[in-house]
Amino acid sequence: MTTTRDYYEVLSVERSADGDEIKRSYRRLAMKFHPDRNPDDKEAEQKFKECAEAYEVLSDDSKRKIYDQYGHEGLRGRGAAGHDFNRMNVDDIFSMFNDIFSGGGGRQGQRRAQARGYDLETEVVLDLNDVLTGVSKDVEFTRMDICDTCTGTGAKPGTEPITCDTCAGQGKVQQAGLGGMFRMVVACPTCRGRGKMIKDKCDKCHGKGRVGKKRSLSVKIPAGIHDGQAVRVPGEGEPPAAEQSPNGQGARGDLHVVVRVKSHDLFERDGDHLLMEMPISFTQAALGAEVEMPTLDGKRTLNIKKGTQYGDLFRIDDAGLPNLRNGHMGDLIVVTKIETPKKLTKKQEELLREFAETEDKHVNPESHGFWKKITDIIGG
């Protein structure tokens, strides 16, 4: 099935992507196009195999180096592809896919002995108050689970799977390798490595041994978590696929709960710190004042110094968000925004005019950096 598409394009990564980026992208795409989630969808199965082929090359430093230099022809010319993708069946790729999630390599027999189900991913939405304190969130998701009716065998109750004639129950067969110069052992294409064939299929799962089930649980989200980070819930993923373990024996995958943090009307997050624009009057800026500041956990008093300028920064200690690792609190950074009144009473206007009479009317642009920049720009 060797693809002619660029492997980096297949996995939606840049050519400079490191191994972790390639692995994450493959994992995401493999879950998206997985045949269990796209039954009878030949296009999805093709894309699933294409992703596996691209990952096998790009995850191997030596093969990737050859591919980067010579492309697809380089791999074929040197026999570096490692697999004949024209002869790879879905079970072979299932094993490769499972290897990514179990985090280990090894031979086919080792992967089968360490059968592990697929990880799942869902999302929760938090606001900044949830990030401040931590929160428990109820999440609902659907996962492929062992069929209750046939207990995972795929066979109608009262019947038993029969031995596969192709592999005589071994679950694997020998095939000629590249060029016919050697032979390789692969999963049986007839029974997909199970060694058994289902004559009378279970009415509920239609012989797959797995059915989609809704699951709901409460997940504890720690304080200080950031948008895009995930909480791993061990054992809440899927059981091993029927091709790996007909009775579901082996470790379940994990559930990854990805956090999305909503934007806030007042505060902007910068790491563990919060940023906020604070409108003050020009009299408060000129004379100084004490103002009440809203924070996520109540109000704090902020002392505005005399002569405060537009854009000056003030810091309120420990009024930010907790650090996810050590719990230390960030600060609230206040940016002053001086507001000019649009309407004045007669008394206010009189007072301002009196004040204006005392001001220096001759502003020297050279005495202020901002004005100097302006005059430099306009050539004054």
Phi, psi of 12 (to 5 degrees): 55, 45
Domain assignment of residue 288, given as a range: 268-340
Q: Are residues 220 and 96 in the same domain?
A: no
CA distance 120 to 253: 7
Q: Are strands 120-126 and 255-261 parallel, antiparallel or unpaired?
A: parallel
Task: Name the domain boundary from 229, 262, 295.
Answer: 262
Give the pLDDT of residue 152. Answer: 84
Bridge partners (DSSP) of residue 259 are 124
Cα–Cα separations (whole angstroms), residue 125 to 25, 31, 134, 237, 268: 23, 22, 12, 20, 17
Buried b (16+ CB within 10 A) or exposed e, 148-184: ebbebbbbbeeeebeebeebeeebbbeeeeeeeeeee
93 burial type by CB count under 10 A (0-12 exposed, 13-18 middle, 19+ buried): buried
CA distance 47 to 50: 5
Q: Are residues 235 and 252 in the same domain?
A: yes
Closest CA to 78 of 60, 56, 63, 58: 63
Quick check: is 331 in a domain?
Answer: yes
Q: Are residues 242 and 277 in the same domain?
A: no
CATH classification at residue 74 = 1.10.287.110
Is 306 strand, coil or helix? Answer: coil
Q: What's CA 160's distance to the chain center, in Å?
A: 42
CA distance 96 to 126: 35
Give the pLDDT of residue 77. Answer: 53
Task: Name the domain boundary from 216, 231, 262.
Answer: 262
H/E stretch holding 151 reads none
Q: What's CA 194's distance to the chain center, in Å?
A: 33
Per-residue pLDDT tens listing for the chain (380 residues):
566 788 888 888 888 888 888 888 888 888 788 776 777 788 888 888 888 888 988 988 888 888 887 777 777 655 444 444 444 444 444 544 554 444 444 444 444 446 788 889 999 999 999 999 999 999 999 998 989 998 888 889 998 888 888 888 888 888 765 445 556 777 788 887 778 888 899 999 888 888 999 999 999 999 999 999 999 999 999 888 766 666 567 788 899 999 999 999 999 999 999 999 999 998 999 999 999 999 999 999 999 999 999 999 999 999 999 999 999 999 999 999 999 888 999 999 999 899 888 876 655 555 455 445 544 544 44
Cα–Cα separations (whole angstroms), residue 20 to 41, 49, 259, 325, 346: 29, 20, 20, 22, 68
Q: Are residues 135 and 101 in the same domain?
A: no
Give the pLDDT of residue 247. Answer: 59
Quick check: is 313 in a domain?
Answer: yes
Q: Are residues 293 and 228 in the same domain?
A: no
Write the CB contacts of 355 (distance below 8 Å, at least 6 apart in sequence).
none
Closest CA to 118 of 42, 40, 33, 51: 33
Q: Are residues 228 and 256 in the same domain?
A: yes
Quick check: is 371 in a domain?
Answer: no
Q: Are residues 219 and 276 in the same domain?
A: no
Q: Are residues 73 and 134 in the same domain?
A: no
Structure-token pair, residue 214:
């809704």
Task: Name the domain boundary from 75, 97, 115.
Answer: 115
CA distance 77 to 140: 49
Q: Are residues 212 and 293 in the same domain?
A: no
307 Rama sector, left if φ>0, alpha if ψ -120 to 50, beta otherwise: left
Give the pLDDT of residue 106. Answer: 43
Give the pLDDT of residue 256. Answer: 93
CATH classification at residue 215 = 2.60.260.20
Q: Are strands 230-233 and 135-146 parallel, antiparallel or unpaired?
A: unpaired
Quick check: is 180 in a domain?
Answer: no
Quick check: is 316 in a domain?
Answer: yes
Closest CA to 25 of 38, 39, 9: 9
The answer to whether 226 and 259 are in contact (CB under 8 A) is: yes
Quick check: is 152 in a domain?
Answer: no
Q: Are residues 141 and 20 in the same domain?
A: no
How many independent structural domains does the chain possess? Answer: 3
CA distance 298 to 319: 9
Locus of tokens 């949830």: 130
Quick check: is 51 in a domain?
Answer: yes
Q: Are residues 141 and 276 in the same domain?
A: no
CA distance 148 to 142: 16
CA distance 252 to 101: 11
Structure-token pair, residue 195:
């060694």
Give the pLDDT of residue 198. Answer: 86
Bridge partners (DSSP) of residue 268 are 275
CA distance 121 to 31: 9
Quick check: is 363 in a domain?
Answer: no
Q: Are residues 123 and 241 in the same domain?
A: yes
Give the pLDDT of residue 83. Answer: 45
